Structure 1
Amino acid sequence: MHSERRKGPRLGAAALTILLAGCSLPAATPMRGAVERTTEYPVVAVDRALAKRLSQRTPERFGAEFTRAGIVDADRIHPGDQLNFQIFETVDAGLLGSTGRAPTLIGPIEVGGDGAVSLPYAGRIQANGRRLEDLRGDLETRLAEQTPNPQVIVTRASGSGFSVTVSGNASGGGVVPLTYGQRSLRAALAMVGGAQGDPALVTVEVMRAGKRGRARLDQIQTVPGQDIALRPGDAITVTTEKPRVAMLGASASQGAVPLERAGETLAAALARAGGLSANAGDAKGLFVMRSTNAATGSEKPEIYAFDMTQPEGIFAADAFALEDGDVVYVSEVAVSRTGRAVRTLLGFTQPVDQITSLGG
């Protein structure tokens, strides 16, 4: 009787073996072998040296047409500038109507599109490209023909055309006048409170006379010549990148993972996502799928393979910089799928290593 009671379970285990041999769950994601055998895209095994080469990127910088432009003379007058005039006369009954020899205040007067300004008793005077001091002397000469020994002071009003605009992801924004202390790009950004985010993820774009220049903020801060001189009318736009990668397959968690900094490595991002799944992740099947390569300029999709069972593979993952849009894929070990098939057939969720009790 005892042997007969054990016959049923033994037959059940044998039947289960036959069922598993002829039945398996459909593959939800490709196994490591399927990825490695693909012929549509190149699969590149990555070691530490290759990881470092692939991670070398040439950051965006301003070209020569921007870096060669010298600091603009803040005294030069340009169309759109707003000018204030103070005129002192040495007689009690002045030409311009002042009494008690108080100065006559005129302005602000905008410099016209033709670069000229008009003043009473002086007529229309060309101001574009001239220094404030030169315009002052010209006015005194013209007024001296009608009033004895006039004295003139010319100043630029705040918010005049001698300015740039800052917009985008800066702490503030608006119109920034180009005064003596703030005629460079960094000075203008500082005037609006600076840019937000990791400087290596912040791009500053300058539009000047129909030409566009771009540079990363960390390059502007550290590379000589990248803190370019500004020109009146420059339009500055600050953009902060938000790079992210997709974590798929048998990782501990799946979904979009934001990169915390520029050049964040595969090992760091994978660790923040919880690493490989302890029960399902294939340590030999870690892949990065990249549509385009910013380091090489390649437009052809490539697949980079990492063997995390070897120290070289771990070091390579720690040196491999991820890029925005990368897909990090962890293949599933075969035993994990077998276990899911067993649980589906038996209708419960016991681990595979406990199923052997059916035969005992």
Structure 2
Amino acid sequence: MRFGLIKGRVVLSAMKSVSAIFVAALLAGCAALPGSGPSSSELSASDIEGGLNSQDYFNFKLTPEVAEIAGRFTPTRFADYFGIKGTEPRQRIGVGDVLSVNIWEADEKGIFSTSYGKKTTVQTSVDDTGRIFVPYAGRIRAAGLSVEAVRETVEQALVGKAVKPQVQIIVTGNQTNSAVVVGDVNKAGKYPISVAGTRLLDLVAEAGGARGKAYETEVTLKRGDRKASTLLADLIDQPRNNVRLVKGDNILLTTKPRSFTAFGAVKQTTLKHFPTETVTMAEALALVGGLNDLSADASAVFLFRFEEPEVVARLSPKDQHKLSDFPVPVIYRLNLRDAKAWFVARYFHMRDKDMIYVANHPTAELGKFLRIIQPALAAARSSQLIADDLDK
């Protein structure tokens, strides 16, 4: 009987040792608990309190000053890429253009005079050799020349053949100096560029306007090997973006509803489309149901965004030399435990494809850990009770 009691105590001792080892292993692996993303401590280390953390991204605390710079920024990419400095480039005649040549003579008996008057109109077009044909003047070089230069050439060619000729040339079919607009417009096509200058919005209006909402319509302009995109609404908000067009420009309008995503300790992890033209960070959090009261760390609300280099240069002037012309990965941190932060969130505007992440509170991680090891603790407690009974 005593041998059996000793054997039972040995088994129970071994069981308690195994339970202790198991708990210790779980404690050691606490950092490897499953989660929806990085913890607040991982995203708030001392080396990312502001400025450049690594070669990968920037990190800024979302203060009123930062929100004023980044939250209401409207890019002027079109103005930077396609702005024309100085006067409008003079238009040139090209192959395929249709010209109306009006010729007047001083005598009603001239070769271009008729019984109705002293004027004759000749319709001609620029052939594939770059020339036009005018009776009695012959084949005249036109491609690559201005309208005035061609007018003078035709007039000189008629001297001695017509009676004091006067020539006027009107471009009635402008194929060379034109731009193409396609995509989500009501009347896609090729449209001439006015001699007075045609701006981007002028051409969109001539094409019947966009099919979608202005704040959901992306305008892409391609000129040669350069290409850039912006929202149609930005052409209105920033008049500099409403650039003058040049021949050969291609414009594509695409309807792209804007959206943001929310992850972490929020009540609804989801993708949300912008319900209105502007959505603030406070409104975005409300759209996903707000923070999860049981797990969220209100001091660790993060917004991930590919930011414009111009904005990052203003937020971190010391790192300006490290920036390129491409969007820069940036993390903004907002501490909602501070009452002033709610006012910042109220006027910080969201952008398309922004990501909001709310980190878990450290106590939430502890609760998750305790739930995982609860079976092991229960087993250890049962072993202890049995051992106590045997000792009696």
- Say yes or no: TM over 0.5: yes
CA deviation map 1:145-188 (0-9, x unaligned): 44656676543223532322223444443211123566333322
Query: Which of 188, 191, 194 is the matching residue for 2:206?
Result: 191
Query: Which of 84, 88, 106 is the matching residue for 1:67?
Result: 84
| Structure 2 letter corresponding to 1:29 | S
- Once residues 258 and 228 of structure 1 are traced to their aligned partners in structure 2, the CA distance between those partners, rounded to angstroms, is 29
1:310 aligns with 2:310: no
- Once residues 222 and 322 of structure 1 are traced to their aligned partners in structure 2, the CA distance between those partners, rounded to angstroms, is 16
2:35 aligns with: 28
Does the CA-based 8 Å contact 1:82-1:156 persist in structure 2?
A: yes
| Range with greater deviation from structure 2 (83-92 or 63-72) | 83-92
Cα displacement (A) at 1:260: 5.3
1:49 aligns with: 65
2:140 aligns with: 125
CA deviation map 1:86-129 (0-9, x unaligned): 5678779x968x98669876434125554x32233321223343
1:253 aligns with 2:253: no
- Once residues 258 and 112 of structure 1 are traced to their aligned partners in structure 2, the CA distance between those partners, rounded to angstroms, is 51
1:77 aligns with: 93
| Structure 2 letter corresponding to 1:330 | V
- Once residues 38 and 226 of structure 2 are traced to their aligned partners in structure 1, the CA distance between those partners, rounded to angstroms, is 50
Count, aligned residues: 322
- The percentage of aligned residue pairs carrying the same residue is 22
TM-score normalised according to structure 2 size: 0.61
1:331 aligns with: 359
Does the CA-based 8 Å contact 1:166-1:236 persist in structure 2?
A: yes
Matches within 5 A, 1:290-301: 290=305, 294=309, 295-296=311-312
2:221 aligns with: 205
| Structure 2 letter corresponding to 1:163 | S
- Once residues 222 and 303 of structure 1 are traced to their aligned partners in structure 2, the CA distance between those partners, rounded to angstroms, is 26
| Structure 1 letter corresponding to 2:84 | T
Cα displacement (A) at 1:313: 2.7
Matches within 5 A, 1:1-360: 26-30=33-37, 32-36=39-43, 45-55=61-71, 57=73, 59-61=75-77, 62-63=79-80, 66-72=83-89, 77-85=93-101, 106-110=122-126, 112=128, 114=130, 116-127=131-142, 128-131=144-147, 135-136=150-151, 138-139=153-154, 142-143=157-158, 145-146=160-161, 154-179=169-194, 183-195=198-210, 196-198=212-214, 202-207=218-223, 217=232, 220-221=235-236, 226-238=241-253, 242-259=257-274, 264-290=279-305, 294=309, 295-296=311-312, 303-333=331-361, 334=363, 338=367
| Range with greater deviation from structure 2 (174-183 or 29-38) | 29-38
Q: 1:33 and 1:335, CA in 2 relative to 1: closer, same or farther beyond 3 A?
A: same
- Once residues 67 and 217 of structure 1 are traced to their aligned partners in structure 2, the CA distance between those partners, rounded to angstroms, is 20
Of Structure 1 and Structure 2, the greater helix share is in 2
- Once residues 65 and 304 of structure 1 are traced to their aligned partners in structure 2, the CA distance between those partners, rounded to angstroms, is 31
- Once residues 218 and 141 of structure 1 are traced to their aligned partners in structure 2, the CA distance between those partners, rounded to angstroms, is 51
1:351 aligns with: none
TM-score normalised according to structure 1 size: 0.65
Q: 1:310 and 1:87, CA in 2 relative to 1: closer, same or farther beyond 3 A?
A: closer
- Once residues 194 and 38 of structure 2 are traced to their aligned partners in structure 1, the CA distance between those partners, rounded to angstroms, is 63
- Once residues 357 and 364 of structure 2 are traced to their aligned partners in structure 1, the CA distance between those partners, rounded to angstroms, is 18
| Range with greater deviation from structure 2 (256-265 or 324-333) | 256-265
- Once residues 216 and 341 of structure 2 are traced to their aligned partners in structure 1, the CA distance between those partners, rounded to angstroms, is 27
Does the CA-based 8 Å contact 2:214-2:231 persist in structure 1?
A: no
| Structure 2 letter corresponding to 1:314 | W
- Once residues 99 and 107 of structure 1 are traced to their aligned partners in structure 2, the CA distance between those partners, rounded to angstroms, is 17
CA deviation map 1:215-247 (0-9, x unaligned): 765564465665443333333344566543321
